A and B are shown apart, each in its own frame.
Chain A
Amino acid sequence: MKFTLSWLKDHLDTEASVQTIVDTLTAIGLEVESVENAAEKLAPFTIAKVLTAERHPQADKLQVLTVDTGSGDAIQVVCGAPNARAGMKGVFGGPGAYVPGSDLTLKISAIRGVESRGMMCSVRELQLGDEHDGIISLPEDAPVGARYADWAGLDDPVIDVSVTPNRQDCMGVHGIARDLAAAGLGTLKPIAIAPIAASFACPIEIRIDDPKGCPAFFGRVVRGVRNGSSPAWLQQRLKAVGQRPISALVDMTNYVMLSYGRPLHVYDLAALKGAIVARKAHDGEEVLALNGKSYRLDATMTVIADDAGVHDIGGIMGGEHSGVTETTTDILIECAYFDPEAIARTGQKLTLTSDARTRFERGVDPAFLDTGIALATAMALELAGGEASEIVRVGTPPVPSKTVTYRPEQARTLGGLDVPEDRQQEILSRLGFGVATGERWTISVPSWRRDVDGAADIVEEVIRIEGLEKVASAPLPRAAGVARPTATAEQLLERKVRRTAAARGLNEAVTWSFIAEEEAAPFGGSPWVLANPISEELKAMRPSLLPGLLAAARRNIARGAGSIRLFEIGRRYLADGERSTLAFVLAGDRAARHWRTGKAQGFDAYDAKAEALAILAAAGAPVDNLQALGGAASVYHPGRSARLSLGPKNALAEFGELHPSSLKAFDLQGPVVAAEIFLDALPQKRGSSGHMRDAYRPPALQAVKRDFAFLVPEAVQAEALLRAVRGADKQAIAGVSLFDLFTGQGVPEGEKSLAIEVTLQPSEKSFTDEELKGISERIVAAAAKTGARLRD
């Protein structure tokens, strides 16, 4: 909401400086976004007279002017404007002047060999409008040498206030003045309107067929208007706040709206046929609005129509057909009340915003219709002449009579500020509230404060005017002792795995929660696809964190990164919930070429497995019991991926090398390996019995190690053999590890050699040779069940 200082002073009797006004506005909740004074910007520009204008010797389109700037000497200026001529007066900027519209600082220069010592400016160059057809032409009586901004009355700061949606009353200068007056910055000037005599009965029937959407419609005809341009003062004010002057009557409606927050509409009476009716639109009915666009309406929308059709999308935008023009002679002024919720819905459906909608959907003052139509009529008569009809008042505006019960100590108990009762009463009265004091106060809410309906609202009014900065800090009550642990189990888990991954050399990224639909497909698609995505790439809630990381990996490779280890902790979005997940992607070099290790090495699926297990271990998962089963997502290579599971159903993680088609889809060169750890699937820690650990009892006797080399069919998985061996003698065997895998010379075709080390732990006494032999035999027998035989 923009207004100028002089405009404000029409409503507020004040001596306060601009700075005080601006500071106060922000302090009472009307945040000032900017203050601009065109006069400051345009200070170097003065009024000058063109003495001579000659054709530039080197250029057809340029002229060489001499201008009188009031300094005595004639100054030579090269000018490209077609309208420059001897004798005219315009606006001159000399060397050193900053031209805001062109963003340049003038200096003495030679233009096609002719020296130019300044510039005659256009409207656009001074940021006073869009016109750039020629230089500004001033009237004959403009005083040469005077500062242009002063002469043109531009010394009027424009204040831009951000009005929060609850404060419709401040969508007009008058309401802002009321708040400032309450804050002690002067006196609110009352609205003065001389009574306007009605010289004839209103010649058009006004009717409401949709009392819900439009509870009240006040109308009045003015006959015999001449709708020319509005006067300079009005144009200047509108332009200052960014409105385009159109014609006297249109400018009048905008001026009343900006001054009082009261939208109006003016119809060309000649364009109306029969009665004018506020009714629901018919489904499919169309109207060409004043913005030049056509809108298709439906039966939920309130319109103003005549016998021929719709003339106005009620409370949002007028129609082109019945808008006033230069030739309009008779007008109908509409001052109506539209239901805020209905306006909001219609505006949202049509995606049509307007100054009127902004005000109506926030709820204009329902008690202001008479004043509004009086202000409009008075101004229409003043600007365009004519005579006014009687006012027709159809319907009843819903003026609420709201009262709020309030205890003055609530300023302290809720607002944290002790404000004396008489001061509270003064603040509320100045804001227009009626106060009946007592043990509990009964406060009547003014019709323009739709936002106030409880004691908390009254506290806010008192505190914001008294000064929020006066609220003193008060420490929260503090529990005895040191701070208690507050992290949730999920948070602790995420912290552990995050810092484990980072400590292992992985870099944490944060990628979008939404991905392209086709990226979700290899994970079974996304059950959550946005209806209004920002783009196709950011449309489906991710069922996996991998697509985001793979895209990040590709970007890093494009930037020349040699080795990529990215991880992310975030949610997968599944049909039945959001699941905490850690994913990582390893791409490029596992190790760059190095004098110790030789050539660069790529990643393989076992790197992914190692990282996944390390992270799972940090998370407290029973990694020794995990089985690597098939069936990982189709984004992985089917033969080089696995699910790490506790039993066949409960997968804690998936890892593997990416499928070549995934690489292609993400435009990556392989091999790329990845894993996802499903943090939500980790078994919950059982309730621990305090901090005490089991007693430390190291075995009394030293363990014995024995190696076995087995030949097994290629298809047998190492895990099957290890598991079998481990189970051969659960008492004696403390550990089994695989230390060699070999195929080739000496190993029959279709078989592989697996060498394992078995750790045997004696308990009471050392193993005898007999016992060791027995254990070995059991191991070989157990291995044989997987198809393994001892290698000779």
Chain B
Amino acid sequence: MASQTHEIDETTLLARIDAAPDMAALEAERVAALGKQGTITQLLKTMGQMSPEQRQAEGPRIHGLRERVTTAIADRKAALEAAALERKLATETLDMTLPAEPRLQGSVHPVSQVMDELAEIFADLGFSVATGPEIEDDWHNFTALNIPESHPARAMHDTFYFPDEDGAERKMLLRTHTSPVQIRTMVTQKPPIYIIAPGRTYRSDSDATHTPMFHQVEGLVIDRGIHMGHLKWTLETFLKAFFERDDIVLRLRPSYFPFTEPGAEVDVGFSIEKGKRVIGGSEGWMEVLGSGMVHPKVIAACGLDPDEWQGFAFGCGIDRLAMLKYGMDDLRAFFDGDLRWLKHYGFSALDVPTLSGGVGA
């Protein structure tokens, strides 16, 4: 008896499955081959009547045929589905060039950013941050800083005053510098003291380069054996870190602040790059800081023994530092709240100054 499998032309059947144009045609092929009355089903049924030897020979061939046809149908089905999905997707195209909704561009003010930078740099040098009131009394702002009432330096400060209170011993004013924080710190803390004190300060002055309110940062070190060499190193180290340049050159000039002795103004060297002054090098000098060794009278006024404790203090304009580092040229714009300016010179929320990432965002 010849093999019945030969009655089915496998090649033609597989070709028909492959060529089935749609799901219905494919289903018809499946029923014709594998349905209850299907040719392959019939073939499978013949196996029951075969002798064991015959079954052993024909069985694998019949099962093989069934499996190849089943696989061919599944493959064709997947191909037809994929083609159908592709046609569907082709109708769903959108214009991906349409603009997204605008994202909000929030910003951090450069003064805040620079204050964070200062805190970061000075933390590494072991300085903590101190604060004090902006509405001060004249003892903290002047007298304790060795500026007695009739001192010409008082007049030079262009102080904003509040009206005299009856019976009040001290005159209230807006602090003209952050130096009263020195006093408040020395009065309340035991040395060694290493602090910076950033904040708002006020002088009755208003022109292109002065605003009645501005920001200062004060530095104070009180310890044993501190001398001017330490002051110079601290300022150099700070400015190099702040401007992120190694070619920072400082020039200390003797000067006078009633609360320091000796006192020095600090110039930093600049060079001209693309017509703009850039900190670094020494083509010219720009005054950036006032500094000096804390006057023994100031140390004594705070209840410390000037023979045991000495140290240095410095003060510098934060707005000015920002201008020198980031290139703003008009101080008044700092306080105008112009969104265009804030977005241009401001910093992203995630530009957090860190020593590892660099303090210049």
Q: Indicate which residue in A26, A416, A456 contacts B296 across the interface (CB closer than 8 Å).
A: A456
Q: Which residues of B lie under 8 Å from residue A165 when comparing CB positions? A: 151-153, 156, 256
* C-alpha spacing A487/B133, complex, angstroms: 18
Find residues 327-355 in chain A having any chain B CB closer than 8 Å to their own CB.
Answer: 340-342, 344-345, 348
B169 within 8 A of A: no
Q: Is the CB of A414 within 8 A of B349?
A: no
How would residues 294 to 328 of chain B score, 1 for a CB under 8 Å from any chain A CB and 0 otherwise? 01110000000000001000000000000000000
Is A463 in contact with B253, judged by CB distance below 8 angstroms?
A: no
| Contact A468 to B253, CB < 8 A, known contacts A413-B227, A476-B126, A532-B160 | yes
Interface string of B250-261 (1 = CB under 8 A from A): 011111101001
Distance in angstroms between the alpha carbons of A596 and B156 in the assembled complex: 60
Q: Is B206 an interface residue (CB 8 A)?
A: yes
Give chain A's interface secondary structure class: mixed
> How far is A340 from B154 in the complex, measured between Cα atoms in Å?
14
How many residues of chain B have a CB within 8 Å of chain A?
A: 97
B65 within 8 A of A: no
- A774-B124 Cα distance, complex, nearest whole Å: 62
Knowing A340-B150, A476-B230, A538-B212 are in contact, say whether A507-B112 is a contact too (CB < 8 A): no
> Which B residues lie within 8 Å of A491 (CB)?
119, 129
- Residues of chain B within 8 A (CB-CB) of A474 are 227, 229-230, 232-233
A602 vs B26: C-alpha distance when bound (angstroms): 59
- Within 8 Å of chain B (Cβ to Cβ): is A479? yes
* A505 proximity list for chain B (CB < 8 A): 103-106
How long is the Cα–Cα vector from A308 to B239 in the complex, in angstroms? 64
Q: Please, which residue of chain B has its CB at the minimum distance from the CB of A343?
A: B150
Residue of B nearest to A580 (CB): B131
A592 close to chain B: CB less than 8 A: yes
Report whether B232 and A507 are in contact in the complex, using a CB–CB cutoff of 8 Å: no
CA distance A569 to B107 in the complex (A): 13
Residue of A nearest to B203 (CB): A534
User: Across the interface, which residues of B come within 8 angstroms of A457, CB to CB?
Assistant: 261
* CB <8 Å contact, B200 and A513: yes
Which bucket holds chain A's interface residue count? 35 or more
* Beta-carbon contact of A507 and B339 below 8 Å: yes
Contacts of A490 in B (CB 8 A): 131
Are A486 and B127 in touch, CB under 8 angstroms? yes
A27, closest chain B residue (CB):
B253
| Interface membership of chain A positions 527-554, coded 1 if the CB is closer than 8 angstroms to chain B and 0 otherwise | 0111111100010010000001101110
A559 engages B131 (CB within 8 Å): no
Complex contact B123–A486 (CB within 8 A): yes
The reply to whether A414 and B228 contact each other, CB–CB distance below 8 Å, is yes
- Minimum CB distance partner of A162 in chain B: B255
Known: A412-B227, A416-B230. A488 touches B253 (CB 8 A): no
Known interface pairs A456-B296, A486-B129, A505-B106; A473-B253 also in contact (CB < 8 Å):
no
B101 contacts A by Cβ under 8 Å:
yes
Cα A342 to Cα B149 in complex, Å, equals: 11
Contact of B270 with A by CB under 8 A: no
Q: Does B168 contact A (CB under 8 A)?
A: no
A463 in contact with B262 (CB, 8 Å): yes
CA distance A345 to B149 in the complex (A): 9
Q: Which residues of the partner chain B approach A596 to less than 8 Å between Cβ atoms? A: 101
Interface SS majority for chain B: mixed
A559 and B340 form a contact (CB under 8 A): yes
Is residue B348 contacting chain A, with contact meaning CB distance below 8 A? yes
B232 to chain A, nearest CB (A): 5
Q: Which residues of B contact A528 (CB under 8 A)?
A: 135, 162, 172
**Contact yes or no, B104 A416, CB < 8 A:** no
- The reply on A595 being an interface residue by CB < 8 A is yes
Contact B346 A508 (CB under 8 A): yes
Q: Which B residues between 162 and 180 are near A, CB-CB below 8 angstroms? A: 162-164, 172, 174
Q: Which residues of A are found within 8 Å of B58, using beta-carbon distances?
A: none
Report if A504 contacts B (CB, 8 A): yes
Residues from chain A with a CB closer than 8 A to the CB of B32 are: none
In contact, A415 and B228 (Cβ under 8 angstroms): yes
Q: A747: CB under 8 A from chain B? A: no
Which residue of the partner chain, among A414, A509, A530, A577, contacts B293 with CB atoms under 8 Å?
A: A414
* Chain A CB within 8 A of B357 CB: no
Q: Would you call A417 and B228 a contact (CB within 8 A)? A: yes
**How far is A472 from B350 in the complex, measured between Cα atoms in Å?**
39
> Is there a chain A Cβ closer than 8 Å to B244's Cβ?
no
Q: Are B256 and A509 in contact (CB under 8 A)?
A: no
Q: Which one of B111, B134, B194, B336 lies within 8 Å of A578 (CB-CB)? A: B134
Contacts of A532 in B (CB 8 A): 160-161, 204
For A573, the closest partner residue in chain B by CB is B135
Are B338 and A556 neighbours in the complex by a CB distance under 8 Å?
Answer: yes
Cβ-based interface call for B24 (8 A): no
A643 at the interface (CB under 8 A from B): no
Q: Is the CB of B232 within 8 A of A29?
A: no
Residues A507 and B346 in contact, CB atoms below 8 Å apart: yes
Q: Are B337 and A509 in contact (CB under 8 A)?
A: yes
Q: Mark A548-579, 1 if CB is under 8 A from B, else 0.
A: 11011101100101001110011101000110
Interchain CA distance A29-B135 in the complex, whole Å: 33
CA of A507 to CA of B104, assembled, Å: 10
Shortest CB-to-CB span from B117 to chain A, Å, is: 12
A492 nearest CB across to chain B (Å):
10
Known: A414-B228, A473-B232, A495-B116. A504 touches B261 (CB 8 A): no
A499: chain B residues at CB < 8 Å are 108, 349-350, 352
Residues of chain B contacted by A553 (CB below 8 angstroms): 337
Closest residue of A by beta carbon distance from B265? A31
Residue ranges of A at the interface with B (Cβ–Cβ < 8 Å)? 26-29, 31, 164-167, 340-342, 344-345, 348, 358, 361-362, 412-417, 454-457, 459-460, 463-464, 468-469, 471-479, 483-488, 490-491, 495, 498-514, 528-534, 538, 541, 548-549, 551-553, 555-556, 559, 561, 564-566, 569-571, 573, 577-578, 591-592, 594-597
Give 18 CB contacts A-B under 8 Å: A27-B253, A29-B254, A341-B150, A414-B228, A456-B296, A457-B261, A463-B254, A464-B254, A486-B126, A488-B129, A500-B349, A503-B350, A510-B109, A512-B335, A513-B202, A566-B337, A577-B133, A594-B101
What are the 7 A-B residue pairs with the smallest beta carbon separation, nearest first? A505-B104, A552-B337, A29-B254, A416-B229, A460-B262, A474-B229, A164-B256
Assuming A459-B262, A578-B133, what are 13 further A-B pairs, CB within 8 angstroms?
A: A28-B254, A164-B255, A166-B258, A341-B150, A414-B228, A463-B228, A468-B252, A504-B104, A510-B109, A532-B161, A548-B337, A552-B337, A555-B336
